[in-house]
Structure 1
Amino acid sequence: MASKFSLRPLAAALAFGLAATGALAQDVVKIGYSGPLSGGAALYGKNVLTGMQMAVDEINAAGFEVGGKKYKLEIVALDDKYNPSESAINAQRLVQEHKTPAILVPHSGGSFALQAFNERSNFMLLSYTSVPQITARGNKMTIRIPPEFTGYVQPFINHAMAKYGKSLAIANADHDYAKAWTAAFKPAWEAAGGKVVAENPMSYNKSTDFYSGVSRVMASKPEVMFIGGASEPTGLVVKQARELGFKGGFVIIDQAKMDEIAKVTGGYAPLEGSIGVLPLVEDTRPDPKAFVERFRKANPGRDPSSEVSLNYTAVHAAAQAMKLAGNVTDATAIRAKMNEAFKTLPGKYNPNDLEGVDEKGGSLANTYVGVVENGKVRQVTLRELAQK
């Protein structure tokens, strides 16, 4: 009999514990991620996710309080293998099962797929792609994280023409994003008085030997080569061009990262005269330097790319928007505060210096790029180059 009564306090304690666990579960806010975590683009997708998780760890360590209530932030990550149809399926699951008010997708195809229903399903799309059409569609629940790639075009042309000349060979990748870059860059080059002397896009994702492709464009004796795709094959194209005697400059599309290219080419010297995205590790400003140090401490042996830093900032901005909205579930209210969130985010959490979002949801920034001079990367703003 005594043993029966002694179970009552235990049962009560278990009941209380289960109730407390349920309460804590309700205090979790989840941000969704659908991106490539397997297949050829897995490294890219994992870099994005690393930046997101780094932000979440910092937010939770500092304490995440919204409307006087404490929450824990979590990332729910699903693999879409870079397949837009999988992105759409993942998004529906993230909203229905995990109640995510925001979902980050690091490719344009997946972003377009989610825009078909994100307004109706009431979740904010955080789109990591610089394709202008993402925001040109007027989707009211979209934030485009990086600035449009078209902002690079004229400043890159100004630099390359002034330093090397007006004859251009197009030798970039042949996937959709590279084609979009070519569609913007080629007419702008010609409008500036330049001439395209060769055009030979190559399958950067399928080939490891670019001898024939590079030889073909070099036969036209270009002064500038327009290149870029994934960083490693871009490095191989640079290496091949220099070995074949190319003395001109490279214009590198933003998908390829100079610091990663340099690992293939054996340093920055083969990139002499080139212009491309500024590697975060070469940024001399205090906030980027501090971010690189924090990242290296948390990820020994690794350097952060822009995929890491920009998506890190996007998660910090989303959390800041929740605080400003006083709400963690109303995606419309959170989206309405994203511009203010970017503007009020401390520089510590905004190493790329995003200045806000425009009326269509596209990010604004005085973007820094890198030019290689005397074997070293010099940083310069797009605004400075645009004025030349």
Structure 2
Amino acid sequence: MTMKRWSVVVAVAGALAAMSAAQGVMAQEVVHIGYSGPLSGGAAKYGKEVLDGMQMAADELNQAGVDIGGKKVKIQIDALDDKYNPAETAINVKRLIEEDKAAVVLVPHAGGCFAVQTSNEQQNLFLLAYTSVPQIAQRNNKLTVRIPPEFTSYIPAFVKFEMSTYGKKAAIAPTDSDYGKAWTAAFKPAWEAAGGQIVVENPMSYNKSTDFYSGMSRVLAEKPDVILIGGPSEPTGLVAQQARELGFKGGFAVIDQAKLDEVAKVTNGYPPLEGAIGVLPVAADETPGTKAFVARFRKTHDNRDPSSEVSLNYTAVYAAALAMKIAGTSTDGAAIRAAYDKALKQLPHDSNPNNISGLDDHGGLVAATPLVAIVQGGKLKPSEMNALASK
């Protein structure tokens, strides 16, 4: 065979190999899971942590290989910024359905979830709702799953600890979002039923401001023993810090959207949060599966600790892919939702850092004991109130 002919053979073989590889790539369908949440503004860090968890799940699933309906697929997260604005959420979700053919969309704030719930059943869209507001699941929307445990599970522990440690006069000053309003509506009667008094209500715009001095001055004028604060972690840290700078010596009840370890980064440590009670950080959980998850996240994220936004939304997306596999479809939202409880029960141990066991009767994820933590002596530690939080 002449050199010229050999070159032609090699070229033809190379072209055939390239065509074969291209066909293999084309044969791998892309399954789109949508996301609409805050990626700019005061809640951007919160929204990005949700997205980190979703993307981590997609990366691990794709590395392991995903088969749906007999076809190998690639899971792709399509993320759009809604600036924490429900009107923008509705626009984004419509775009995700029309342009990306997404049958599953995750939204990490109550207002946006309520907006999506007005039409998702008609659109056959499965909504993964990352908000602990109970009303999201209680609406009996058949194509919604609420991801975090209901925040009401934390309130008995919050009330008992703060009232017994600091006193009976409480101020309410969380975020003014729908989420913050729901917390207020649940916390106020629980505090009063325990014999406490609400001395002032002054919710603030955590997503639009970094200066909370004037709002906190109005709160402190009523001399509260305890202040209910919280929203995204970064502004929550500013609220706590500015309250201390204005002379507040009492305790903080920190609503579950804010994470104590993230808040402490803003306050330069835990001492300014002395007497606070909130949700136990994921990295402080000694459960074996949780520790393995934390180690994997640190390895791929510059040794950063994952928040519960990361861990819970990782699990939510991982379970969504398993539900697609069980249902044999990535396009039928109702079928995926119907398989979701079964998928949660089949989660690999290391892919279930929050120990989710399934769904409750309203379509909310059921976790093990909702764990809380307190700050005492300038250090974070699990609270003896955890047994109370499980009731």
Does the TM-score normalized on the shorter chain lie above 0.5?
A: yes
Match of 1:275 among 277, 297, 306: 277
The equivalent of 1:333 in structure 2 is 335
**Secondary structure, counterpart of 1:122 in structure 2:** coil
Deviation at 1:312, TM superposition (A): 0.6
Q: Does 1:266 align with 2:268?
A: yes
Report if the CA contact (8 A) 1:140-1:360 is conserved: no
**Secondary structure, counterpart of 1:354 in structure 2:** coil
Report if the CA contact (8 A) 2:358-2:365 is conserved: yes
Report if the CA contact (8 A) 2:107-2:129 is conserved: yes
The equivalent of 1:23 in structure 2 is 27
Q: 1:11 to 1:243 in 2, by over 3 A?
A: closer
Deviation at 1:124, TM superposition (A): 0.8
Q: 1:332 to 1:248 in 2, by over 3 A?
A: same
Report if the CA contact (8 A) 1:158-1:385 is conserved: no
**Secondary structure, counterpart of 1:160 in structure 2:** helix
Q: 1:306 to 1:115 in 2, by over 3 A?
A: same
Q: 1:80 to 1:211 in 2, by over 3 A?
A: closer
Q: Does 1:135 align with 2:127?
A: no
Question: How do 1:1-388 and structure 2 match up within 5 A?
Answer: 19-24=23-28, 27-365=29-367, 366-380=369-383, 384-386=387-389
- Hey, what's the Cα distance between the residues in 1 that align with 2:69 and 2:212? 57
Deviation at 1:189, TM superposition (A): 0.7
Report if the CA contact (8 A) 1:317-1:342 is conserved: yes
**Secondary structure, counterpart of 2:72 in structure 1:** strand
Deviation at 1:141, TM superposition (A): 0.6
- Hey, what's the Cα distance between the residues in 2 that align with 1:269 and 1:155? 21
TM-score, normalised via structure 2 length? 0.88
Residue ranges of structure 1 left out of the alignment (5+ in a row): none
TM-score, normalised via structure 1 length? 0.89
- Hey, what's the Cα distance between the residues in 2 that align with 1:347 and 1:42? 30
Deviation at 1:320, TM superposition (A): 1.7
Report if the CA contact (8 A) 2:46-2:232 is conserved: no
Give RMSD over aligned pairs: 2.7
Deviation at 1:8, TM superposition (A): 9.4
Residue ranges of structure 2 left out of the alignment (5+ in a row): none
Task: Indicate the larger mover: 367-376 or 166-175.
Answer: 166-175
Report if the CA contact (8 A) 2:330-2:336 is conserved: yes
State how many pairs are aligned. 383
**Secondary structure, counterpart of 1:304 in structure 2:** coil
Deviation at 1:349, TM superposition (A): 0.9
Deviation at 1:383, TM superposition (A): 5.6
**Letter aligned with residue 375 of structure 1:** G
- Hey, what's the Cα distance between the residues in 1 that align with 2:41 and 2:240? 25
**Secondary structure, counterpart of 1:239 in structure 2:** helix
**Letter aligned with residue 291 of structure 1:** F
**Secondary structure, counterpart of 1:332 in structure 2:** helix
Q: 1:79 to 1:224 in 2, by over 3 A?
A: closer
- Hey, what's the Cα distance between the residues in 2 that align with 1:246 and 1:157? 19
